[in-house]
């Protein structure tokens, strides 16, 4: 009998040794399979708290975070496609080169966040706070920004072609060389913004404001500015120029 038990224990040990270790499951808010071995030691996407370090974390399926406080978090180079960060506080977070395509950041707070080089394709930023955020070099193809707060944000060089920024606040934002062609920007506020050499071709700023905005070298061909405040400067369409 003892010999049989010993054989069973040896057989069990062999089976355990054969279990693959390349896929580790994070524990916490939910079990999420991760694939970055070096990042697994950080307990990726668990224990959500301010200043948490999830840099380099990667998931094979979408995650869902709601009303969490991740202010000051390090999310640089994370891979979290199709994920929801609904009403999450990400103020001051480092999100450089993060892959977040097809995600949802509705009502989230990304004020002062660093999103340089991030993959934001088809992300929904409905009423998101992006004041003071840095999005330079980010891929914003197909992203939506209705009601977003972009005040004092760094958006120079972005391609926002055919997007939606209805009612957005872009007060004092840096939009130099930004492509804003065919954009629905009705009732958007560009007061004090720098739109030097930007492309606003065939866009609609009806009811919006360019008060004190710099439109030097800006392409405004086909721009609909009916009822908009055009007390800008640097362009013939501005009042008094």
Taking only the tens of pLDDT, the chain with its 241 residues reads 445 445 445 444 444 344 343 332 233 344 455 555 455 557 899 999 999 999 999 998 899 999 999 999 999 999 999 999 999 999 999 999 999 999 999 999 999 999 999 999 999 999 999 999 999 999 999 999 999 999 999 999 999 999 999 999 999 999 999 999 999 999 999 999 999 999 999 999 999 999 999 999 999 999 999 999 999 999 999 985 4
| Exposed / middle / buried, residue 127 (Cβ in 10 Å: 0-12, 13-18, 19+) | middle
In a 13 Å sphere around the CA of 89, the CA atoms on its Cβ side amount to 11
User: Which letter, b or e, does each residue of 59-68 get, where b requires 16 or more Cβ atoms within 10 Å of its Cβ?
Assistant: beeebebeeb
Instruction: Give the CA dihedral 116, 122, 126, 130, nearest 10 degrees.
Output: 0
Give residue 42's pLDDT: 72
Angle, CA 94 vertex, CA 90 and CA 98 arms, to 5°: 95
Distance between CA atoms of 34 and 26, rounded to whole angstroms? 7
């Amino acid at each position: 009998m003892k010999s049989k038990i010993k054989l069973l224990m040896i057989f069990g040990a062999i089976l355990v040794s054969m279990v693959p270790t390349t896929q580790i499951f994070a524990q916490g808010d939910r079990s999420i399979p991760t694939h970055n071995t070096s990042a697994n030691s950080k307990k990726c996407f668990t224990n959500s708290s301010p200043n948490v370090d999830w840099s380099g974390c990667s998931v094979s399926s979408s995650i869902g975070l709601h009303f969490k406080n991740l202010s000051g978090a390090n999310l640089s180079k994370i891979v979290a496609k199709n994920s929801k960060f609904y009403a999450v506080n990400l103020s001051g977070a480092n999100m450089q080169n993060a892959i977040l395509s097809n995600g949802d950041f509705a009502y989230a707070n990304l004020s002062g966040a660093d999103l340089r080089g991030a993959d934001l394709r088809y992300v929904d930023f409905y009423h998101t706070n992006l004041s003071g955020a840095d999005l330079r070099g980010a891929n914003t193809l197909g992203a939506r920004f209705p009601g977003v707060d972009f005040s004092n944000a760094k958006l120079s060089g972005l391609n926002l072609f055919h997007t939606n920024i209805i009612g957005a606040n872009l007060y004092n934002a840096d939009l130099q060389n930004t492509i804003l062609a065919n954009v629905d920007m009705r009732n958007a506020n560009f007061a004090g913004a720098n739109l030097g050499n930007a492309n606003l071709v065939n866009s609609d700023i009806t009811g919006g404001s360019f008060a004190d905005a710099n439109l030097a070298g800006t392409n405004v061909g086909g721009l609909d500015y009916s009822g908009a405040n055009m007390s800008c400067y640097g362009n013939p369409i501005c009042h008094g120029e």
